[in-house]
Amino acid sequence: MMSTFPDISINTDRLVLRPFDEDDIQAFTEMMNDEQVMAWTDVPQPFTEREARTWITGYAPTERTSGRGLDLAVTEFLTQRLVGVIQLTKTDWHVRATELSYVVAPWARGEGYASEAALATAQWLFREQKFERIELRTAADNTASQQVAQKIGCISEGVLRNACIARARTAEDGWTEVRTDFIVWSLLPEDIEGVSEELADSGGYGAYSDWN
């Protein structure tokens, strides 16, 4: 019997993680065309509104109903502004494991939204969905993403050499692909015990200028 994630929303003190809808198309397009998002993800360049619509109305719902994953819009609780994306992929329902990634919009960086959204998702996966493992992969040079992983309690497990293709600007202001390593991180249920309290003691989520 196939398992799937429920069609849900997750609330934190500052954020609402919810399914995407067509009202998100313009902001999602702007977010995914940001240079840092282009550098560390494999989104098409440029990322058009047509591609955003296809992703929101086709790809994301199919990922959930097929059982492969879950895509959530990260929005501010007070303004309802789109500030990021949480994505679950490569879900194994027998092992109860999934891979988590995150992107934060350029207009919302420096607020700790990636770590807040990622931790809330992990808590929901472990407590409500009874998952046993979450995996993250960060490019070797993506220090901001690595800081997010550390901040929510992830443990570094090793390096996948030459396993990641990132992008870099060329002298002609174009893009070129560069090969780099992936750092593999894991998060188990016991790893997040006390993380919320530690974050509060250290000044909250905004200590790192996280983005993806």
Dihedral Cα 21, 132, 66, 6, nearest 10 deg: -40
- pLDDT attached to residue 208: 41
Q: What is the pLDDT of residue 211?
A: 46
Residue 212 has a pLDDT of 52
Residue 56's pLDDT is 98
What per-residue confidence (pLDDT) applies to 202?
A: 58
First to last CA, the chain: 34
Calculate the CA dihedral of residues 208, 204, 69, 43 and round it to 10 degrees.
Answer: -30
The runs of H, that is alpha helices, within 69-187 are: 113-127, 143-151
- pTM of the predicted model as reported, rounded to 2 decimal places: 0.91
**pLDDT at res. 168:** 86
CA distance 102 to 72: 10
167 Cβ contact partners less than 8 Å away, ≥ 6 residues apart: 38, 39, 40, 45, 175, 176, 177, 178
Q: What is the pLDDT of residue 195?
A: 82
Contact 134, 122 (CB under 8 A): yes
Residue 169, token pair as written in the block: 């600007």
CA distance 42 to 127: 31
Closest CA to 39 of 114, 121, 157, 145: 145
In this prediction, residue 193 carries a pLDDT of 87
Whether residue 117 contacts residue 12, with contact meaning beta carbons closer than 8 Å, is answered with yes
Q: Count CB-CB contacts under 10 A for residue 165.
A: 11
What is the DSSP secondary structure assignment for residue 19, as one 8-state letter?
Answer: -
**pLDDT tens, residue order, the chain (212 aa):** 579 999 999 999 999 999 999 999 999 999 999 998 989 998 888 899 999 999 999 999 999 999 999 999 999 999 999 999 999 999 999 999 999 999 999 999 999 999 999 999 999 999 999 999 999 999 999 999 999 999 999 999 999 999 999 998 888 888 889 999 999 999 999 999 878 777 655 556 654 444 45
**Cβ(145)–Cβ(201) under 8 Å?**
no
Instruction: For residue 50, give every residue at least 6 positions away whose Cβ sits within 8 Å of its Cβ, in sequence order, or none.
Output: none
Confidence (pLDDT) at 172: 82
